[in-house]
Structure 1
Amino acid sequence: MATTERKPLLLDFEKPLIELESRIDQIRELAAENGVDVSEDIRQLEARAMQLRQEIFSSLSPSQKLQLARHPRRPSTLDYIQAISDEWMELHGDRRGTDDPALVGGVAKLAGRAVVMVGHQKGRDTKDNIARNFGMASPGGYRKAIRLMEHANRFGMPILTFIDTPGALPTAEAEYKGAGEAIAYNLREMFRFEVPIICTVIGEGGSGGALGIGVGDRLLMFEHSVYTVATPEACAAILWKDAAKASQAAVALKITAPDLKNLGILDQILSEPSGGAHSDPLGAATILKQALIENLEALLQTSGQERRKMRYQKFRKLGVFTDLP
Structure 2
Amino acid sequence: AWSAADLPEAVRPILAGSEGAHKGRPFAAPVLARDVVRYVGEPVAVVVADDPYGLADALERITVAYEPLPALVTPEEALASPTRLHEGWPDNVAVVARGAVGDAERALAEADVVVSERLRHPRLAAVFIEPRGAWAYRDPDSGRFVLWSSTQNPYSVRDAVARILGLPAEEVRVLTPDVGGGFGPKGAPYPEEALVALAAQRLERPVKWVESRREDFASTGHDREQVHQVRIGFRRDGTIAGIDASFLADVGAYPAQGNGLTLNTVNHLPGPYRVAHYRNAGTSVVTNKTLNTAYRAAGRPEAVFVMERLMDLGARRLGLDPAE
The structure with more helix, counted as a fraction of residues: 1
The structure with more strand, counted as a fraction of residues: 2
Task: Tell me the TM-score normalised to structure 2 length.
Answer: 0.27
Task: Tell me the TM-score normalised to structure 1 length.
Answer: 0.27
Which protein shows a greater Rg?
2
